[in-house]
Amino acid sequence: MKSIRIYLLLALIATITLVNFVSLLHGYQASMEKAQNLFDARLESTARLIASANSAQVADQNIAEQQTPNTYFQIWGSGGQQLLTRSRNAPDEIIGQLDEGFHEVNHASYRWRNYVYQDRHLNRWVVVAERIDIRYSLAEEVVLESLLPIVMAIPLSALIIWLAVGVGLKPLSVLAQQIRHKKVDDLSPIKMERVPKELTTVVNNTNALLIRLHDAFSREQRFSADAAHELRTPISVLKVHLHNLKQRFGDTDEDIALLKTGVERMGHLIEQILALYRTSPDQAAVKFEDIDLTKLVQSVVARDFEQFERKQQRIELDGEKILIKGNQFALETLVQNLLSNASKYTPEHGDIYVSISSKLGEALLQIEDSGPGIPTDMHERVFERFYRLHGDQHASDIIGCGLGLTIVKDIAAMHQAEIELGTSRFKQGLRVSVRFRLEEKK
Amino acid sequence: MRYALLIIALCLSITPVFAGPPVFTLEIKEHLFFPDEITIPANTKVKLHVKNLDATAEEFESYELNREKVIAGNSEAIIFIGPLDKGVYPFFGEFFPKTAQGKVIVE
Amino acid sequence: MLLNAVIITLREVLEASLIISVFLALSQLLERKLSWLLLAMFVGAVGGFVYGQNLGAVSMAWDGMGQELVNAGLHLLIFLSLLVFMTSVPHQHKKRWRIVTLIATITAVVVAITREGSEIILYLSGAMSIPNMLLPVLIGSIVGAGIGISVGIYFYYLLINMRLKYGMWLGYLFLLLVAGSMISQAVEFLIQADFIHAGKPLWDSSNLISERSVIGQLLYALVGYEATPAPIQVVAYVSSIAIIAVATVISYQFRTPPHDD
């Protein structure tokens, strides 16, 4: 059962056809029977009429020429021994038997229904016959006139049912369309006018579910953001105390160095969590403006140049002026995350290549590193929150919390951009491509 | 009666080249069977030679004889019937049953 | 004339439409594509036309027994297709068997429509060439076809809306009866062709259900009902059903556990 509409159409048409056609057959049979009875009655009265009109007992070849070719009569005298008279088209022998009542016989290439009337007063037989095929077509002609509309009505009802069922199922398709066109992150309730009774439960329950989901999401968001925000202060305090400790015990203490790394990692995590919730795609009312992508990348590279310098990495930027619609802060975060990933995983003296180009209505930002790369089967997973390649065995000297790419993905979704992971132009390494849709020029 | 004579004539005209079953000829003309009654001997297999002289096809059908055979327009067909018990076995033309009616009388 | 047109069309259309609806439903249940069946229906219609046009020549072949032999052959072919279909269904997880099932389905549908269609086409083309018969025959055949197709649609939706297990069983049961009826009809044609000796009818139920009655005609179309069947017909009917049933059960027993191939 693939389509309710087709099912309803076929089932209804089948029902209408069956009911109509069976009653049509019934009506046909009844009418035909009535007609035959009428014809028989007429045949019988004709026989009596002929009998009383031709009361002469002698053979007379000259009477009754007026019979149509569709009927004939014979009058047999002396108990059926002698043909007294007949219509011109009648045979001069007895067809069938001289047995009072109705019979069917073949004569002159036609099948006839005859009525044999025994005239007991004059001891003679009157045979009147009619062509059966003519009787039938006469009766049928009349009956068919009344049946034709029933047959013609079927395709018409099919059309009307098709349209009516379509109208009846419209709320369902409206609902389906609403749900289909809902953006992934759109948790607003379904709006539908005049919801039919059958769909009320579906719409109400779906809306209740959407509201619950929305509340759960915002609760989670608020909690994480608040928690991260609240953690900022103690971290800052920790950093101050750490600074003081360093002053007191010097730079060489191993424990203090480890503590410093730990605090730095925690601070990084909190900053990332805050960035994540600032850039979540369902964050409403994000300000979008025209942004020159190349200029933005340049500024981020300049701002964070220290990280490349520290590892003595070569970074090359290749791009032209391309304007995209976007949010300045979010895009900065995206580029910053991708660049810091590239720098983190590229070994010292490695290469990083950044290119910005546009073609076919797309702006393409590519960042390629010469690090170890990511196996293809992991490409989906690295975007998951807190997922880190190789889990705990992750090179411990690289600070990270597994949120970077999640944030990148969220920002990309916010800009309706697509992210693709691939292999870089260098011997090994990762290439991250972000495609932004350019607005069509009108 | 004329037809009975015709059948006898036809029967006689079949020279006994092979000792096959007796042959009866049945014509279909204007959607009628000629003759519309065939008398055959009991407990004997007979061969019906049906000639359709109409342009339209006809289906020889008999529930009592358990026979059904479509005979195309202007063509002939052969139908074996029997051996049968004494009795009357109606047959009809399925395509024009109002007119094409007949019976086999087994004696 | 109308009633006659209804009976002829209904008898042939009903049989074909029920067979097709069972195959359509079973392919839905087996999650098969339907486009093949539509193609098979079309090929069958063309086949029916060609067979009808050449029936005169076919009839006179083989000492005038051509029609009987061809019809017996067609019925036998449908029976074999049903046998192959029902024994191959348990092995649907193997591609080779799926193709076998598909071929059996297509053969059965093509042959069934060729056989039933040729009679309708001969009847309609003859009857409609007579001017005052055009309308009654047209209406009659529309009514007959309409009833036949409607019953087919009902049967189809009945099968696919039942629980999968029951739907399959009902479809199987119907195909079993059709298979028996096919063999019984094939035997009847061979008797008519004088290849098999008929013998005295095993019973005479024409007083109970006449083959002339509507119920008799329906039963004939559905399960091959005969009021006065020859003993060998009954034997063939029962044993053909037994053969398919046993073959299907054996095929189920030898079913290998599903795995990818």
Task: Tell me the CATH number at B16.
Answer: 2.60.40.420
Split into its structural domains, chain B has a count of 1
Q: What is the pLDDT of residues A77-130, one digit of tens each?
A: 876 777 888 887 777 787 777 788 888 887 777 778 889 988 888 888 888 888
CATH says A185-284 is which class?
mainly alpha
- Residue C191 contacts residue C198 (beta carbons within 8 Å): yes
The winner for highest mean pLDDT among A39-43, A216-220, A344-348 is A39-43
Which residue, chain included where needed, has tokens 């049989």? C15
Beta-strand pair A323-326/A289-292 = antiparallel
Q: Is B95 on the interface with A (CB under 8 A)?
A: no
Which chain C residue has its CA at the smallest distance from B99's CA? C1
Contact yes or no for C57/C192 (Cβ under 8 A): no
Is the model's pLDDT at A414 over the cut of 50?
A: yes
Q: Residue C1 pLDDT > 60, yes or no?
A: yes
Give B44-67 pLDDT, tens digit per residue: 888 889 999 988 889 998 888 888
Per-residue pLDDT tens over the stretch C178-232: 899 999 989 988 988 888 887 778 888 888 888 877 788 778 877 888 888 888 8
- C-chain CB neighbours of B18 within 8 Å are none
**Higher confidence at residue C201 or residue A39?**
A39
Is it the case that residue A60 has pLDDT exceeding 60? Answer: no
Beta bridge partners of B62: B67
Mean pLDDT of chain C: 85
Residue-range domain boundaries for chain A:
4-161, 185-284, 286-437
Q: CB–CB of C161 and A1 under 8 A?
A: yes
CATH number, domain A286-437: 3.30.565.10
Q: Is the CATH number of domain C2-253 1.10.730? A: no
Residue C50 confidence (pLDDT): 92
So what's the pLDDT on residue B10?
43
* Both structure tokens of A291: 């942004």
pLDDT exceeds 60 at position C137: yes
At A102 the three-state DSSP class reads strand
pLDDT at C77 over 90: yes
| pLDDT at res. A63 | 52
SS (H, E, C) A37-59: HHHHHHHHHHHHHHHHHCCCCCC
Question: CB contact, 8 Å: B27 with chain A?
Answer: no
Cross-chain Cβ contact A110/B30 below 8 Å: yes
Averaged pLDDT of chain A: 81
Nearest CA in chain B to C56: B72
Q: Does the beta carbon of A109 lie under 8 angstroms from any beta carbon of chain B?
A: yes
pLDDT band at B19 (very low <50, low <70, confident <90, very high): low
pLDDT above 50: residue B68: yes
CATH class of A4-161: alpha beta
Q: Does position A246 have pLDDT exceeding 70, yes or no? A: yes
Judged by DSSP in three states, A367 sits in strand
pLDDT band at A67 (very low <50, low <70, confident <90, very high): low
Q: What percent of chain C has pLDDT over 90?
A: 24
Yes or no, beta carbons of C55 and B57 under 8 Å apart: yes
Nearest Cα of chain B lies from the Cα of A130 at a distance, in angstroms, of 13
The proportion of chain A whose per-residue pLDDT surpasses 90, expressed as a percent, equals: 6
pLDDT for B4: 46
pLDDT tens digits along A333-383:
888 888 888 888 888 888 899 999 888 788 899 999 888 888 877 777 777
Q: What gap in Å lies between CA A164 and CA A156, rounded to an integer?
A: 12
A170-174, A437-441, C45-49: range with lowest mean pLDDT = A437-441
* pLDDT value for A164: 92
